[in-house]
Amino acid sequence: MKDTGESKDQQLTVALRIRPLSDAELEEGATIIAHKVDDQMVVLMDPMEDPDDILRAHRSREKTYMFDVAFDYSATQDEVYRSTTKGLIEGLISGYNATVFAYGPTGCGKTYTMLGTDREPGIYVRTLNDLFKAIEETSDDMQYSVSMSYLEIYNEMIRDLLNPSSGFLDLREDSKGEIQVAGITEVSTINAREIMELLMKGNKQRTQEPTAANQTSSRSHAVLQVAVRQQSRCRDILQEVRFARLFMIDLAGSERASQTQNRGQRLKEGAHINRSLLALGNCINALSEKNGNKYVNYRDSKLTRLLKDSLGGNSRTMMIAHISPASLAFEDSRNTLTYADRAKSIRTRVKRNLLNVSYHIAQYTSIISDLRSEIQRLKKKIADQASRQLNPDRTDIRHVQAEVQAHSSQQSRAEMDQLREQLIDAFRQQMDIRKRLMELDNSNMEIQIDTSKHLLTIADWEQERFRRRKKWQGERRKESFNKDESEKDSDSPESLPDSTETQEVAIARENLVTLMAEQKKMRKQKAGLEQRLAELREKARRLEELLPRRVSSEEQREVLCLLCKVHELEIENAEMQSSALLKDNVIRQKNVVVQRFEQHRHLCHEIIQQQRQFIDGESFAGIRNGTEISARDESGQTVAVKFSRGYLPKITLLSRGRDPLQEMDSDQESVRTLGSDNREGKSYMASTQINAKLHNRQQILRGVQNIAVKAARRRSKVLEIDALRLPPPPSPLDPKKHKSNLSLTEVPPKGLVLRRGRQPSPELCHATSDDNLSSSTGDGPAPNGTWTRPRNRQAVKNPTPREKDFEGRRRKRRSRSFEVTGQALSQAKNTSQRFRPLDSTSDPHLHINGHPPAPLLRPQHRAQPQLTKVRPSHNIHQTGLILQFDFFFFYDLLIYSFTWGKSWPNG
Ligand SMILES: Nc1ncnc2c1ncn2[C@@H]1O[C@H](COP(=O)(O)OP(=O)(O)OP(=O)(O)O)[C@@H](O)[C@H]1O
């Protein structure tokens, strides 16, 4: 290996940078005395010279300095770097050593120029960046190796900043006379980022202390060395290796003790700094001597020893002198400018560090084989490139890999699509079936409602038949007791009443059969659908289980799982909606029932209220034992109450209903009063017709029943309740209370008390016709439904022949019509004094169905209680009610009748 570089002389390049005036200087009232005149010229003005000094009048106060490049406060870091250091990089990778050092007094910006700040990086960082860029650009042909070391000379001692624990290092001169730092850490890397990190790490290790002149004063000289080795990638018989070193030095600033006010350690540091800088200055002086014969004492300091090559040896050297523009720093600036100006004349002998490697003949064989293999490699590379150009799709392994990947992903996507389709299909079928099941439920409900209607029709008819038979039996019994009279009574039925079914009942039975068949069919369908639904659920579950096995991608699996979840939730939602609808329907039906009960309750309260008012203001008289009251409406609803001494009155309530749908539409009521007293010849009869607004006749009857029961309880003398109690309002969906909700296979009970949609029986119409009633009074019904004034007692005591005749006829019909034969009116009157309200909590202002209660009608004739014939709603379902109650019940009934009357006779 031999050095083949040729040397040539080169001047040391000097740049001058004038930093901006600092705040401290401004505060001290410093003025600017250093100016940049142009890119190279700098003027320094002596602030001490007196312009009025006549002796020195012709002397210039300004001194001009010329440098290779000059910067003032306006120069950026990048401008300084480009003008000073950037040009050295090309020479560095070509094998030329280079040195950049910052020189100047303390606090003038040396560290700022070399290191910079995070936002404004200095020469270190910028140089390394560009060096690595240049290496990268030529790395195809050349091989590089870069190593870095970073040290500081502190108090004339060398410290490794990349490895501070290694202690102080020594300088050694190698065989070629080059200065080396023994044991320094050299980090080899071509990674720019790594080098930057090392630099930052080293900077943190550098000794910096605050002084009066500079808060971040560097107390040492810092030397960053970058060694670049370069050789051609192509091995030749004559291998050329280039080697170069770059020094980047941030010198400590020269300082005056008076200025820095340093004491102790700082003072000691300052002395060392100044000594080394003095040595540097001496070297510069010596090197700059024109004759060049002067001895250069590099050995005075470690700094000058280290910079030996940089100053007078093989290096392209750049000196960046720094000064302050402040008048206070005049002396330092002048010294710096003087040294910098001198340094300009320093000449270095620059030569490329080129090493030619000559090999032994034995090594040639291996070199040739290496070269051959390299040729083979290159040929293969060319062939690959050519074939790739011809058929780019097949040869590119990456392409093939991508194809394989794409294919496999396509496959998995297809599989996923297939699975998804299957899942969606299963869920869709489930939804369809769920929908059909809902429809079936709806139809089933409709069928149940229809069934209920038909069952009611049949039950009504059964009830009617039962009632008729009962009535017939009663009459037969009565006839056996009153044989003489019964023989003459041509109206009494002798044979069993006709029990053939009406057309309506027959149709209902037919419809029931059809509905039963329909329901059976639907049950079958439902079972089938439910089975299918279970199968589909099982299928979906199996598909879900397959997911992990058939889909490899975690993402796809999750997507499918989510899909399943969504569909399951949708199905659940549909099921819940369906059951909610069904429940809603049931609730609506029950609400209707509750509403009717509520009306019923209101009505009862109202009745009680009216009774209480009547009791308070009226004495009861005129009803005697044996009195019988009968009432009947157009539809055949009858009420009969009979009194006998020592016994409770016997009340017979017979009613006949019409179409239940008209139940709520009743708006006309007529009340007729009949009265007679047949035992003592004091008959009292009254007939009237009162229009009343009754909104629910069924409720009225229940009110009556309620009153009866309450009265019976109060007296504890209930003898007999031979009645079919009123059922609650029909609830077609309540299986406990109504037969309609039972299965069609169940047989409706005989004698069901409810009756709906039934036409009035002609027989009963006859037995309880208005004619009968009017004949019993002898007056007939008032044509316009007006109240007929009852006869007074005096008139009854002496009946006319016509009245006697009428009475006779009336007795004959007593079994069918309603008579009053009371004897104990005075008793009744007395008893009425003990009457107590049934319900103390009843509200007197209660309104029924939005209508205010009827005004209390008070009879004018206290001794003659009004016997009323009640014409309740023709829609009442109750087929028959026979009750025996005590007198109070009868009284309640009377009050009830009065209350609902529309008018009361005057006088
Ligand atoms: N050109 C400039 N532009 C802006 N600020 C500067 C410039 N030069 C120096 N400064 C500021 O002046 C202060 C002193 O600078 P710096 O520490 O670089 O001086 P120095 O010469 O290295 O001092 P020492 O020799 O004591 O280490 C720093 O705060 C720095 O930011």
Out of 434-443, 603-612, 648-657, pick the least confident.
648-657
Domains 14-54+94-357 and 399-596 in one fold: no
* 104 labeled binding residue: yes
173 vs 88, which has greater pLDDT?
88
Residue 147 pLDDT > 60, yes or no? yes
Write down the number of H helices and E strands in the chain.
Answer: 24, 26
In the reported structure, the alpha carbon of residue 98 is separated from the centroid of ligand 1 by a whole-number distance in angstroms of: 24
Q: What is the mean pLDDT of residues 739-762?
A: 37
The architecture CATH gives domain 399-596: Orthogonal Bundle (1.10)
Q: What is the DSSP letter of 349?
A: E
Cα atoms found within 13 Å of the Cα of residue 173, Cβ hemisphere only: 10
488 vs 217, which has greater pLDDT?
217
pLDDT tier for residue 27 given thresholds of 50, 70 and 90: confident
Q: What is the mean pLDDT of residues 475-501?
A: 67
Beta strand 13-18 pairing with 69-71: parallel
Q: CA dist 328 to 22, 30, 257, Å?
A: 11, 6, 15
* 106 labeled binding residue: yes
* pLDDT for position 832: 39
Angle at which helices 503-550 and 397-481 cross, to 10°: 160
* pLDDT for position 432: 86
789 vs 38, which has greater pLDDT?
38
* pLDDT for position 705: 54
Nearest alpha carbon, ligand 1 atom 15: 109
* pLDDT for position 413: 72
Question: Burial level of 172, CB count in 10 A (0-12/13-18/19+)?
Answer: exposed
Mutational test site, ligand 1, from 23, 74, 84, 112, max ligand atoms within 8 Å of CB: 112
Distance CA 324, CA 331 (A): 10
pLDDT tier for residue 404 given thresholds of 50, 70 and 90: low
Q: What is the pLDDT of residues 305-361, one digit of tens each?
A: 888 888 888 889 999 999 999 988 888 899 899 989 988 888 888 888 887 666 556
Q: What is the pLDDT of residues 71-124, one digit of tens each?
A: 999 999 999 999 999 999 988 988 899 999 999 988 899 999 998 888 889 999
Q: What is the mean pLDDT of residues 832-860?
A: 38
600 vs 412, which has greater pLDDT?
600
Q: What is the mean pLDDT of residues 135-159?
A: 86
Domain spanning 14-54+94-357: CATH 3.30.365.10: no
* pLDDT for position 56: 62
Q: What is the mean pLDDT of residues 671-686?
A: 36
Residue 682 pLDDT > 70, yes or no? no
* pLDDT for position 64: 92
* pLDDT for position 406: 66
In the reported structure, the alpha carbon of residue 108 is separated from the centroid of ligand 1 by a whole-number distance in angstroms of: 5
* 202 labeled binding residue: no
Q: What is the pLDDT of residues 543-589, one digit of tens each?
A: 777 776 666 667 777 777 777 777 778 777 877 887 888 888 788 87
Q: What is the pLDDT of residues 504-548, one digit of tens each?
A: 888 999 999 999 999 899 999 999 998 888 888 888 888 777 776
Residue 847 pLDDT > 70, yes or no? no
- Other CB atoms within a 10 A radius of the CB of residue 856 amount to 18
* pLDDT for position 175: 76
CB of 787 closer than 8 Å to CB of 688 = yes
Mutational test site, ligand 1, from 16, 17, 79, 214, max ligand atoms within 8 Å of CB: 214
271 vs 674, which has greater pLDDT?
271
Distance CA 869, CA 891 (A): 14
Strand partners, 122: none
* pLDDT for position 397: 54
| DSSP track, 1-14 | -EE-PPEEEEEPEE
* pLDDT for position 88: 92
Distance CA 371, CA 583 (A): 94
CB of 728 closer than 8 Å to CB of 593 = yes
* pLDDT for position 196: 80
Q: Which helix (H) or strand (E) holds 323?
A: strand 316-323
Task: Using the Cα atoms of residue 770, residue 776, residue 780 and residue 782 in order, give the sign of their dihedral.
Answer: negative
Amino acid code (one letter) for 296: V
In the reported structure, the alpha carbon of residue 266 is separated from the centroid of ligand 1 by a whole-number distance in angstroms of: 18
* pLDDT for position 381: 82
In the reported structure, the alpha carbon of residue 203 is separated from the centroid of ligand 1 by a whole-number distance in angstroms of: 15
Mean per-residue pLDDT of the chain = 68
In the reported structure, the alpha carbon of residue 256 is separated from the centroid of ligand 1 by a whole-number distance in angstroms of: 17
In the reported structure, the alpha carbon of residue 224 is separated from the centroid of ligand 1 by a whole-number distance in angstroms of: 19
Q: Which helix (H) or strand (E) holds 671?
A: strand 670-673
What ranges in 482-502 are assigned the alpha helix state H?
A: 483-488
Q: What is the mean pLDDT of residues 407-426?
A: 74
* 99 labeled binding residue: no
In the reported structure, the alpha carbon of residue 324 is separated from the centroid of ligand 1 by a whole-number distance in angstroms of: 10
- Other CB atoms within a 10 A radius of the CB of residue 582 amount to 15
Q: What is the mean pLDDT of residues 134-153?
A: 86
Residue 634 pLDDT > 60, yes or no? no
What percentage of the chain carries pLDDT values higher than 70?
56
SS3 helix, strand, coil % of the chain, rounded to 5? 50, 15, 35
Nearest alpha carbon, ligand 1 atom 23: 107
CB of 665 closer than 8 Å to CB of 658 = no
* 109 labeled binding residue: yes
Both structure tokens of 351: 């030569």
In the block, which residue shows the tokens 């006697």?
804
Q: Which residues of 46-67 are buried (b: 16+ CB within 10 A; e: fewer)?
A: beeeeeeeeeeeeeeeeeebeb
* 841 labeled binding residue: no
pTM of the model: 0.45
Cα atoms found within 13 Å of the Cα of residue 747, Cβ hemisphere only: 4
Residues with CB under 6 A from ligand 1: 19-20, 104, 106-112, 214, 216-218, 252-253, 322
Distance CA 838, CA 892 (A): 9
Out of 129-133, 262-266, 845-849, pick the least confident.
845-849
* 831 labeled binding residue: no
Distance CA 818, CA 244 (A): 143
CB of 589 closer than 8 Å to CB of 732 = yes
CB of 146 closer than 8 Å to CB of 227 = yes
Cα atoms found within 13 Å of the Cα of residue 397, Cβ hemisphere only: 1
- Opening angle at CA 400, ends 395 and 403, nearest 5: 140
Q: What is the DSSP letter of 725?
A: P
Tell me the three state secondary structure of residue 709: helix
- Opening angle at CA 406, ends 401 and 408, nearest 5: 95
Residue spans per domain, the chain: 14-54+94-357, 359-395, 399-596, 603-899
In the block, which residue shows the tokens 């309260």?
605
Q: What is the mean pLDDT of residues 200-219?
A: 77
- The complex scores an ipTM of 0.98
